[in-house]
Structure 1
Amino acid sequence: MATIRFTERTLVTPEQFVACLTDFSPGRRELFPNSADESLRVHEEGADHADVTEGSGGIWERLRYDWSDPHRVVMTTTDSNVWGGASSHTYTFTPLPDGSTRLDVVVVREGKNLRGRLVALLLGTVGKGVLEKALKTTLRAVEARNRPAAR
């Protein structure tokens, strides 16, 4: 099992990031590179939760999104072709005095088969940089989407 942690600072508010994270409309891949539109399926969506299948590159997972806490989104894997057990993503948002937000991300990957165990091993070692780059790409895209229009 791999547990990967990241901390980043962003100019968007927790509300703005949660709004992007829980927007399951077409074009999601523009913000989240590992969520291809052709793999996206919303099974259920409520005011503070959703049941969504997403993925890319031959890896998919069904996630239970919970954003009932305005400073945290927990995405728990309920089914996947490679992930099982305790697999999840947790995004925690801390507003800072300067108006920015600290974003703490914890990704837990527990492989449920040989492929999953191998990918989890890679993510826990050399793959962390790939996930970190994807997070930075996401933050830039979310910031660009929420930047006030030039006057």
Structure 2
Amino acid sequence: MRLHFTLDTPATPEQAFRAFTDFGARRLEVWKITLDPSTYRVLEHGETNALVCEGTPRFGIWNIERYDWSEPGHVTWATEHSNYCRGGGAEVRIAPAEGGGSRLTVTWGHDAGVGVRGTAVFWLQHLLARRLLPGRWAAAMARAAAMDDGARPPEP
């Protein structure tokens, strides 16, 4: 399953890029709706790449993702190991939007599920991701922009 969407956000391209490439404690705040603190671990971190274990709250699922941001305005990640899917990842292109903010062009998805639970989660994602993911990412970008502006991040 692959999902393609475009998202306009008030976050500047720099703020959006940082939201995807900052693997410190700030990441847990920016992505708090979709990132489970109990599974989050940075396994490796370099100048333009990272290997990170990330999970989703309430589902007990996790992926070990290899992130790369060696190209300006372009972030990719690929699933190296997962407890529910056979692979996948995402590509995000970040560009200035007309009138300010930024435009994200996203391709995201996971391959077939592993086992009964993984297959159920895979099909649930297939049914709900098109409706939920863009909104969740828009909220994360709003939190990233607010944090950089010194304002209190909006609640989900």
Q: Normalised by the size of structure 1, how large is the TM-score?
A: 0.85
Task: Please list every run of at least 4 consecutive aligned residues from structure 1 whose deviation after the TM superposition is greater than 4 angstroms.
Answer: none
Q: Percent identity?
A: 31
Retained in 2: the 8 A contact 1:27–1:37? no
Give the corresponding residue for 1:24: 23
User: For 1:43 and 1:96, how far apart are their aligned partners in 2?
Assistant: 34
- TM-score of the superposed pair, with normalisation by structure 2: 0.83
Count of equivalent residues: 147
Contact 2:7/2:134 (8 A) holds in 1: no
Partner of 2:121: 119
Separation in 2, partners of 1:7, 1:92:
9
Give the gaps of 5 or more residues in structure 2: 152-156
Greater alpha carbon shift after TM alignment, 113-122 vs 38-47: 113-122
3-state SS, counterpart of residue 92 of structure 1: strand
Q: Give the equivalent residue in structure 2 for 1:89.
A: 90
Cα shift readout 1:11-66 (whole Å, capped 9, x = no counterpart): 22322222122222225332112212221111110110000001133010000000
> Which 10-residue stretch deviates more, 101-110 or 57-66?
101-110
Structure 1's unaligned 5+ residue stretches are none
Contact 1:4/1:128 (<8 A) preserved? yes
Give 2:38's aligned residue: 38
Q: Per-residue CA shift, 1:59-118, capped at 9, x if unaligned?
A: 100000000011110011000101223x10211112235332111111111134133333
Determine the structure 1 residue equivalent to 2:154: none
RMSD: 1.9
